[in-house]
Structure 1
Amino acid sequence: LGPDGRSLIFNDWWLPADWSRQICLPDRGTFLAENLSVSASTVFIVGTLGELYTRLYDFDTAGENDTLTYSFLINAASGDTRALPAEEWRRQPDITDGLITGRVTITQDGQGNAARLLRVEGVRDGRTGFYFKHIFDETWSFEETGLSVCGPFLNAPGRGPPAPVEPADFPLRGSLVRSPLFGPSVSVGVDIPRFNLMCSPAEAHVLVNGIPVTVNGVPLVFPLHHVHSLVLETRPREYWLVGIAAKVRAALLLPGEVDEIDDAQALNAVRALFEDRVVVNFQGTVTPATLDLVEMTWQDPAVGVVPGNEKADPTNAIVFEASPF
């Protein structure tokens, strides 16, 4: 955990030993964690009020390994292709029949992702011990130990919540441009009200003539997922604060309601840009001041990152550029 309790730092043996990578905590990075335990790529955290969360997350499962193949268009692994996005945080049942401390552990006790045993130190009916359950169980059990416990009790009555903080989001505005080798360029505007370097996804709105495209009068949301990709250079822990760009891959998903866009001119503009795409896979860089992404093409390495049928013709790729507004 970072010193503020609101950042979760990790590393992998593929990466430089600089601890510059983070896992987004619950509530878009605003959750205040008291303690954590990790086993078999599964993180177990406890909040300052005794809230309990788990998440399966590592360099490979999150989509950050450039030597593996990933897709946002599948729900489960298919052949050599892994499904994205990564698993979200799973809220574990609250412990309500006793008091708990911040001492938590998770251990792998078998094969498969369900084989994770959670333990939380606590007191029930005046007896000291620990609560325990497997990760997908609905209820907690209690085992008495008779040993002293280490307070404070996080879920004690009267404990107030921590002061709220805002997510580290910032707005971006820019354009999507496709400039084919033959024929005119096609472009639309893009607004991303809340982009976050560590927390994905963001919600993008496509603009035609400066106006968001709508379905039934409501701006249509295009999910924009992003993951950090492999780097070899050592970086400061908070490298983006000193002008170093994050190396990322991103996927802009076209929602199923595209053909229901209210305005015919807007629909034609969207279809002219994306053609028959259902996802646009990008790679590039992002900082708090700039976003520069280029669609992945057949000229990129044939092995890894995204399946070949999700890559664009190199003469027909989409460029995505944006900056704060």
Structure 2
Amino acid sequence: MRVVFAGTPEFSVPCLEACRGSGADVAAVYTQPDRPAGRGRKLAPSPVKQAALAAGIAVEQPESLKGAAAQAALAAYRPDLMVVVAYGLILPRKVLATPRLGCWNVHASLLPRWRGAAPIQRAILAGDAETGVDLMQMEAGLDTGPVLLERRTPISRNDTGGSLHDRLAALGAEALAEGLRRVLAGETLAATPQAAEGVVYAHKLDKAESALDFARPALELERQVRAFDPWPGSDAGIAGEALRIWAAHALDHAHDAAPGSVLGAGREGIDIACGNGVLRITAVQRAGGKRIGAADYLNTRPELRQLGALSPAGYAGKRGPRAPHE
């Protein structure tokens, strides 16, 4: 079976390796054109391109697949199947119809929930208890095709966008490997149409979303910090200094302070008043600096310790309604 693989970021690489290890012939790899990266803004190859070149696989990088020349070049590889994983280009109907077995997509959600560009982060932001990956038969709509195989995983309170990304990348490769193994053995995979109810779109992340609004509930801000690690990060002003917030957890203590006020600071973290509850910040990054623990940060700002002990008299022992995760 001849496979053409299409993918771009690090998330796609385990699936490329699954294709290579399945016994299928990976005839070519399609990936986004090289883009400027780093401080010098030099053109850099995608992770998928790097993996393909290291494996000696032909690489194609068209700006679009809408033109006749690009479509003819794809057809010349005579693919039986095209596997698409976070490629970043729309596949026209003619491309979808080119492979004998059509096109498969590995998508990082339990469809139809979180169709679209940022399903991993949106699932954490929403407080979902579970997510997963779907191996889907592609059709013209955005992530609307029937599901061939599925893998599920719980979302823990310790999961970040980065940790969940890595786990789902591995699960996606497992599902793809199983699908390829079964088809190579002569089996036809059952395609289950997506439910009409429960459709939610995972819109692309924007750096403008990085600001923490302390008027919101602390639990929502905790989810934001976790979801946006490593990108786009979460930013806040703490007692007059702009910081990148890398780790925090919500406390459901009641208080009467204005949102954004520092309620206390100590070895365990910096407690910030929120619209509902308290956000305890435990890791930060100063402008031009590295990620450090809150205790190390407080060593450079001893005045914050004068605002009170970690459980100051303003809210110690007062508990609001139990948070959903408790």
Same fold (TM over 0.5): no
Where is the strand percentage greater, Structure 1 or Structure 2?
1
TM-score w.r.t. structure 1 length? 0.29
Structure with higher RCO (Cα < 8 A, 6+ apart): 1
